[in-house]
Structure 1
Amino acid sequence: MSNQAFYPIGVPGQPWGAAEKAAWRAQQVKQRSYADDVLNTIEPLRDRFDVVEYGSLDYGVEHYPLVVIRSLHWRDELPTLLVTGGVHGYETSGVHGALQFVQQHGRDYVGRANLLVVPCVSPWAYERIHRWNPDALDPNRNFRKNSPAGESAALVNLLEPLRDSVLMHIDLHETTDTDESEFRPALAARDGKDFEPGEIPDGFYLVDDIETPQPEFQRAVIDAVAKVTHIAIADAHGEIIGSPLLVPGVIKFPVKQWGLCAGITNARYATTTEVYPDSPRATPQQCNDAQVAAVRAAIDYALARGDDPRDSELK
């Protein structure tokens, strides 16, 4: 199969160069506002939380402040709970679910843990409803030191001092029909490879780390979300998006090896959510509610275990 058969940009079998990336970038159109949807939603939270700009991105004439919402009275002796959303800008419920969680439940853990929420890691992509940044880079393959993706580099720098004090990290994502119709074909074209069609699962699922699986933690999150929306089942091969199941509704990836967001810290409990917003069985509000349910269940499980991530056995 040639690149031209499945994507309009690129020469068959050849990775993109600067010209192809510029052509792709020229097709990306701003469709919504990071300032209106995210920054303006955060403003009313300033009396209850510490809102901090942890970096910024400048793409042409566009300036994007990167914002983290923190517990107002941070206590170093408490474990840290980390929530990230909008790593892929097109995955809407990751952003709005993170904001809804803070609005509704962000104060529930005062005195028990420090809360750290980054609701929109990739604002340029959020506005254009896309997966990549303007350089055609996927931030969720680039969370490492000296990252070529500015979105990833900024978050890595923010979290570097907290790598060993984060108890729980949940990264909020979606799997959409456009993964198959746009983003996977674009990836194959960008890299000069053939596109092999896949199957989009109908329902919510989680991604655990293949190196340090936590099946009971993942199961607790799945059980909570199942009360809000349906859980994806395995395909005819016993897999979800090409990966075998750890437990029902949970697959495993090499999270740290691939530079995924959920692997930034050494959190004992870490997971990546995958909501399916294109299902006829789920509304946008249900998708946001599913993200909130996942966050709350992940936090409750971690805090109930009482593990201190700074114990010597974890270092």
Structure 2
Amino acid sequence: MRREPEFRPHRVVVLALDGLLPFELGIPHRIFGRPRDARGRPLYDVVTCSIRPPGPVRTDADFAVQVEHGPEALATADTVIVPASYELGPVFEEGVLTGELAAALDHIRPGTRLASICTGVYVLAAAGLLDGRPATTHWADADRFQRLFPHIQVDPDVLFIDDGDVLTSAGVAAGIDLCLHMVRRDHGTAVANDVARRTVVPPHRDGGQAQYIHRPVPDPQQATTTSARAWALGRLHEPIQLRDMAAQESMSVRTFTRRFREETGVSPGQWLTQQRVERARHLLESTDRSVEQVAREAGFGTAQSMRQHLQAALGVTPTAYRRTFRAEKETAAALRR
């Protein structure tokens, strides 16, 4: 009789540092604490640890957080997440780890996935884990972070960056985008979308940080690009020209492009590609359509074009993506029978 493989949830360990932001500390627990398999078993096991023995950890609010695990918990992690802290001391000022923090990080096993939320990225950078790699942080901190760590390729415009085994996110709520992305990467869009619905947040936010940088308040009578985006989403399978999108708002192409980037943080072309990649992912997971059919329905035209875009966005081919996530769905269906 064939034995069922032993079930073990993916362990996420959240590192709580003094001066932490309670909101950011709660994000991983909220997002990773939701996903379940077909039997109702949690797909993730989330624990919080300190760099010291169990005890209270200061926050930036008028209360402390009681943390039940010491740094040894980092050795059990499949993923380690470092939220922001306002008391990083020499990590923030000089880009170097304290001895206590360095000793804690030494518990992390090679191959563990690492992620940061907002200025938690300073910890990964000071540990030398981002040298020569792309990273992001809160837009207001990006210039300072780049000066302190010149060997890191800082992108201040995006909500998060996935560089394989190391992921970084922009400020505060971008931690939600990052964690949903990791769930999507691990278990597909259906699981991530379900978590987003339960959390009452969009499963995928358009654009990047540029849309949140302070600018003068626009005239309330000023046109936006909202209608053009809704129009485009309804016909992703068709060729869409920039001039056609601009025409939906009765704008010149130049004005529309500028307004679009201000509102979403990306160009219309980049936005269209993002939406088509998401449509392709959904179709690959949820239908039996051929790769050629999916490419046409997602608006890529040809399988080769879709393959190139998925490889660039996800690091996998359409066939490999479908094989991974359809296999999970078939296993779940078999368990329900």
TM-score, length basis structure 1: 0.30
Q: Give 1 or 2: higher helix fraction.
A: 2
TM-score, length basis structure 2: 0.29
Asked which structure has the greater CA Rg, the reply is: 2
- Which structure's relative contact order is higher, taking Cα pairs within 8 Å and 6+ residues apart? 1
Q: Give 1 or 2: higher strand fraction.
A: 1
